[in-house]
């Protein structure tokens, strides 16, 4: 209800279900946020579409975006760049619409510094065995990459303490419900609505 949109950041270890949860949230007709499509230098997976899942770019193109100040944040993850184009986020927030980022922890911490009033949510697996099973089941990574991702998952889970909320992804619909409740509550925080009430008091006093 404040004029500016709210920035919602979702992180969590690889394979925890961030993409699945995000897609389920986007399908919900009652949601009001826009998803910010990231830019990456990693290869397209089967079924992925440029400009829908990611903006797939070369290393050179990505680095030139960084130099031109076009990224809100970026990080290297398992040998590739991933980052959030700045302009879409700014324009959408300015228009009063919430923006949803699904990014890894280093990028999220950059965003936290630039946008301290954002809402930072960490999606956790019920346990590490479940996490491994999900990565294997997804079938998008070879054995070496799975090991790298699991190793990284352990260090990522330690970063949970830098987030505002921890949401366990036991069942997709439950995780989605928890995140939607968080967003709803965050919109009611007094610092976000105070301007509206100041205006109201101004009208009443006249």
Contact residues toward ligand ADP (CB under 6 A) are 12, 14-20, 134, 137-138, 169, 171-172
Beta bridge partners of 165: 121
Of residues 24 and 192, the one with the C-beta less far from ligand GDP: 24
The string of DSSP codes covering 91-120 is HHHHTT--EEEE--HHHHHHHHHH-TTSEE
Comparing every residue's Cβ against ligand ADP, the nearest one is 17
Q: Which of 33, 77, 120, 122 binds ligand GDP (CB under 6 A)?
A: 77
Q: Which residues contact 20 (CB under 8 A, 6 or more apart)?
A: 169, 172
Distances from the Cα of 85 to the Cαs of 55, 114, 117, 189, in angstroms?
10, 14, 19, 28
Q: Can you say whether the dihedral through the CA atoms of 41, 45, 48, 53 is positive or negative?
A: negative
Stretch that binds ligand GDP, among 22-30, 79-87, 164-172, 187-195 (CB under 6 A): 79-87
Residue 16 contact, options ligand ADP, ligand GDP, none, Cβ 5-8 Å cut-off depending on partner type: ligand ADP
Provide, rounded to whole angstroms, the least separation between the CB of residue 83 and ligand GDP.
5
Binding-site partner at residue 42 among ligand ADP, ligand GDP, none, CB < 5 to 8 Å by type: ligand GDP
| Other Cβ atoms within 10 Å of 102 Cβ, number | 23
> Is 18 labelled a binding residue?
yes
Site pattern 110..149 for ligand GDP (x: CB under 6 A):
----------------------------------------
Euclidean distance between CA atoms 100 and 22, whole angstroms: 9
Binding residues: 12-19
């Amino acid at each position: 209800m404040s004029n500016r949109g709210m920035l919602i950041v979702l992180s969590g270890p690889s394979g925890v279900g961030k993409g699945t949860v995000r897609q389920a949230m986007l399908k919900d007709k009652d949601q009001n946020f826009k998803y910010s499509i990231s830019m990456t230098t990693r290869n397209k997976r089967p079924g992925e579409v440029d400009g829908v899942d990611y903006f797939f770019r070369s290393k050179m193109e990505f680095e030139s975006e960084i130099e031109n100040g076009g990224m809100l944040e970026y990080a290297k993850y398992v040998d590739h760049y991933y980052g959030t184009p700045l302009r879409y986020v700014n324009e959408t927030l300015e228009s009063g619409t919430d923006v949803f980022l699904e990014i890894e922890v280093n990028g999220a911490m950059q965003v936290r510094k630039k946008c301290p009033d954002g809402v930072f949510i960490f999606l956790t697996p019920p346990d590490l065995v479940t996490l491994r099973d999900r990565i294997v089941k997804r079938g998008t990574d070879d054995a070496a990459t799975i090991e790298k991702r699991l190793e990284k998952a352990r260090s990522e889970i330690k970063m949970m303490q830098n987030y505002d909320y921890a949401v366990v992804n036991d069942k997709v619909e439950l995780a989605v419900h928890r995140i939607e409740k968080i967003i709803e509550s965050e919109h009611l925080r007094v610092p976000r609505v105070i301007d509206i009430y100041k205006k109201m008091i101004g009208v009443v006093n006249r």
